[in-house]
Amino acid sequence: MLSVKGLRANVGENEILKGLDLEVGPGEVHAIMGPNGSGKSTLAHVLSGREGYEVTAGSVTFEGQDLLALEPEERAQRGLFLAFQYPVELPGVNNTYFLKAALNSVRKSRGEDELDAVSFLRLIKEKLKILHLDDSLLKRSVNAGFSGGEKKRNEIFQMALLEPKLAILDETDSGLDIDALRVVADGVNALRSPERSMIVVTHYQRLLDYIEPDHVHVLAKGRIIRSGGKELALELEEKGYGWVVEEERAA
Amino acid sequence: MNGTAPASFETWLTARPDDRTGAGLDWLEARRRSALDQVREHGVPSAKQEAWRYTSLKRLLEQGFAQVDDTVTALRLDDIEELLIPELDSHRVVMVNGRYTPSLSALGDLPHGVRVTGLRALLANDPDALRERINGVAGERQPLFAALNTAGLDDGLVVLLDRGAVLERPIELIHLSVGMDEPRVAQPRHLVAIEAGAQATLVERYVSLGASLYCTNSVLELSLGRDAVLKHDRIQEESPNAFHITGLYLSQEENSRYQGTNIGLGGAWARTDLFTRFQGEHAECDLLGLYLAGDRQLMDYHIDVHHAVPSCTSRETFKGILYGKGRAVFDGRVVVAKNAQKTDAAMSNKNLMLSENAEIDTKPQLEINADDVKCSHGTTVGQIQPEMLFYLRSRGLSAPIARRMLCMGFAGEVIDALHADALRERVSEQVGQRLESAPLT
C-alpha cells in the first residue's frame, strides 16, 4: 500500500529525514516511535504534502502511485488522511459545511455520487456517536474554541467520515487525559479493517496500550533504526530511547 | 468624456429651476440655494483634506456626470426579475435612476401608522410632512456630496412610522440604475423616521442592469425616536463601472436600537460616509460592514459616531477582502463627549489581503473626553494563513475552494447579521462568485 524508500527531506538548510525506509501493507497498523526531534512529525507532514519541506532523495509510492507528485488534496482524494497533532482552528467556517464539502470531494474522486442533505446528516450522526461527540459540534466553526480533547476527537471523527485507506495519526495522544485517550483509541479501533492501514506516530507507548500495532519502528535522527513487533514498544517504555540509540551507535 | 475635467461638481446640477420637484416651495428652494452655495464653497476637495486624504476625486470628476432628470418608463417587471428576491416577502419600492417607479413597485398592504411613498409625490401632495425632515438629521451644513444631493433634490424613498407602529415585513428599496447615452448621476434622497416605540426592517439594494457607467449619490436621513428599533440591511451591487456615494445620517433618541449591515460589492469607486448622533441615553448602534475590493476597485468607508450623551453603546465592525489591485479605505472615528460617561464603544476593522498588490489604508480613531467609559479599537491586515489552507486541502478540498471557504468564514460574521436567510444566501453567492474569479496577484 505504502512504500517509502531512502526518503530524505530538508526543512530549510537542515536535513531532517536521512534515508528513511518504510513498507506498510493493507490493513496493517504501524507505530512510529522516537524521541523529540527524530523526524516523526516531518515524516507525517511530508507524506501528507505540507509545504515547507524539500524532498531531496528517495521515493514514496502509495498504491503504485508517486505520492510526492500529488497535491495535498489529491492525496486526500486518493485515500490518505492525516490526523493533525495540532488541529487548526478555522473561525467562521461552519463544521457541517466543511465536512460535507470534504466528504463530497473525496466521494467524487472515488466515482461516488455526492450525498444529499438527509443521507449526509444520517451518516454524520452515526459517526458522531462513535466518538462520543455532541451534535452541537456541527453548528460550530471548525475546531474554533474546541478543547484539546474535542479537537482530537474531531480529527478521528473526520477520519471516520472520510474512510481513508491510509490514516496517519500524528501524536494523537498528546494533550489527552486517559478518558479522552480511550475514546479516541476506541474510535480508531472501530475503523480498523483489512483494507485500512494506519501509521501511528507517537512519543509514548501509552497510546499503543489501546491501539495495538502490528509493527513498531524506532525513528532516530531521521532514520528508522529498529523495527519489531509490539513488544518493542514495551521494551522502549522500560529502557527509554537512549537504549536503542546507543545500541545503534555501537553497531 | 474626453478633454479637461470640469473645475467643480456644479455641472451635476442641471435640473431646470422652473419645473423641478417642489419648485414652488420657498423653504425647499432656500435649502437648495444654501446647498448650492456650499457646493461652490467646497469646490473640489484636495488630498490635503482629511476626509479625502486617501481617495482621489479625479476619476469621478472626469466623467462629467449630469443629473438624471427623465423618468425611465419602458421597463417591465420581467426585465428586472433576476434582481428580485421573492423569498424576502417585502413591501417593495423600486426606483429607476433615482426616480420612484410605481409600475415596478409592490407596496402591498401597509399596517396602520406606516407611510411608504416617493419623496417627489409627497412634496407634491403633503410638503409640510417633509419640512422638518429634509436636512432634519443631516443638518444645514453638509459635506460636498450631501450638499450636492440637497441642491439637486428630486426624489427618494420616504418611510414614516408613527408612534408604536410595528412593521412585520421588511421594506425593500431596490435602486436600479440603467445606463443612459450620457453619463448620468442620480441623487436619491431617502428619509426614514421611526417614531417612538415603532419597529421596522429596511433593506436597501443598489443594483444595475448591465455594466454601464453612471453615478449614484444617495443621502439617507434616519431618525429613531425613543425605544424605536430599525434593522437596516444595505447591499451595494452596482455595475462594475459605476461610481457610488452614500451619506447616511442617523439620529437616535433614548433607548433606541439601530443595526446597520453594509455590504459593498460593486462599483469601480464607492464611497460611504456613516454618521451617528446619539440624542438620548441607553441607545444602541451596531454598524457592520463587509467590503470586497477587487481589481481596480476602490471601497472607501468613513464612520463617524458621536457619543454626545451618556450610557450609549456603539459597535463598528468592518471587514474587508481585497484582491488583485483592489484598494480600500477605512477611516473610523468614535468621539465621546465630556459628559458622555458610561459610553461603551468598540470599533474593529479587519482586512484579508488575497494579493500583494491590493492596498488598504485603515485608521480607526477614538477621541475620548470622558473618564468613565469602555472603549476599544483594533485593526488587522493579514493574509490567509498557510496552515489553515493546508488543513482544508488535507481533507480533499482544492486550493481555490479552500481559499473561498476561508474567505467566507471571515466574512460570515457580517453576512450573518443580515436579517433574512434569502439575503444571506444572495450575498454569500455574490461574494463566492466574485472570489471565484478573483486574481490572486
Q: Within a 13 Å sphere around the CA of A107, how many CA atoms are in the beta-carbon half?
A: 13
Interface touch A71/B406, C-beta < 8 Å: no
Closest CA to B311 of B339, B282, B334: B282
Of B386, B401, B406, the CB nearest to A101: B401
Q: ipTM score of the complex?
A: 0.96
Domain count across chain A: 1
Query: Minimal Cα distance from A48: which residue of B?
Result: B394
The residue type of A217 is H
For A36, which DSSP code?
Answer: T
User: Pairing between strand A215-220 and A223-228?
Assistant: antiparallel
Closest CA to B298 of B242, B249, B347: B242
Q: What angle (nearest 5°) sits at the alpha carbon of residue B52, between those of residues B48 and B53?
A: 55
Q: Is residue A54 a contact partner of residue A14, using CB atoms and an 8 Å limit? A: no
Give the count of beta carbons closer than 10 Å to the beta carbon of residue B86: 9
Give the count of beta carbons closer than 10 Å to the beta carbon of residue A38: 24
The domain that holds A229 is classified in CATH as 3.40.50.300
For B363, counting Cβ atoms within 10 Å of its Cβ (0-12 exposed, 13-18 middle, 19+ buried), the class is middle
Q: How close does chain B come to A108, measured CA to CA in Å?
A: 10
- Cβ contacts from A onto B, under 8 A: 79
> How far is C-alpha B325 from the chain's CA centre?
23
Interface touch A72/B390, C-beta < 8 Å: yes
Interface touch A102/B405, C-beta < 8 Å: no
Of A82, A87, A101, the CB nearest to B397: A101
Of A76, A90, A97, the CB nearest to B394: A76
Longest dimension (CA), chain A: 61
Domain that holds residue A244: 2-250
Interface touch A72/B398, C-beta < 8 Å: no
In chain A, which residues have their Cβ closer than 8 Å to the Cβ of B415?
none
Q: How close does chain B come to A114, measured CA to CA in Å?
A: 14
Q: How close does chain B come to A1, measured CA to CA in Å?
A: 19
Hey, CA dihedral for A193, A199, A201, A205, is it positive or negative?
A: positive
Hey, CA dihedral for B99, B105, B109, B110, is it positive or negative?
A: negative
Look at the pTM and tell me if it is higher than 0.90.
yes
Q: Which residues contact B88 (CB under 8 A, 6 or more apart)?
A: B170, B172, B203, B420, B422, B423
Per-residue pLDDT of chain B (441 residues; tens, 9 = 90+): 444 666 789 888 875 566 778 888 999 999 999 999 999 999 999 889 989 999 999 999 999 898 877 777 789 999 999 999 999 999 999 999 999 999 999 999 999 999 999 999 999 999 999 999 999 999 999 999 999 999 999 999 999 999 999 999 999 999 999 988 888 999 999 999 999 999 999 999 999 998 999 999 999 999 999 999 999 999 999 999 999 999 999 999 999 999 999 999 999 999 999 999 999 999 999 999 999 999 889 999 999 999 999 999 999 999 999 999 999 999 999 999 999 999 999 999 999 999 999 999 999 999 999 999 999 999 999 999 999 999 999 999 999 999 999 999 999 999 999 999 999 999 999 999 999 888 776
Query: Minimal Cα distance from A46: which residue of B?
Result: B394
Q: How close does chain B come to A36, measured CA to CA in Å?
A: 22
For B85, which DSSP code?
Answer: -
Interface touch A105/B410, C-beta < 8 Å: no
pLDDT (tens digit, 9 = 90+) per residue, A64-76?
Answer: 999 999 999 999 9
What's A136-171 look like in SS3?
A: HHHHCEECCCCCHHHHHHHHHHHHHHHCCCEEEEEC
Interface touch B390/A51, C-beta < 8 Å: yes
Report how far apart, in Å, the C-alpha atoms of B30 and of each of A44, B131, B140, B152, B196 are. Answer: 76, 12, 11, 12, 30
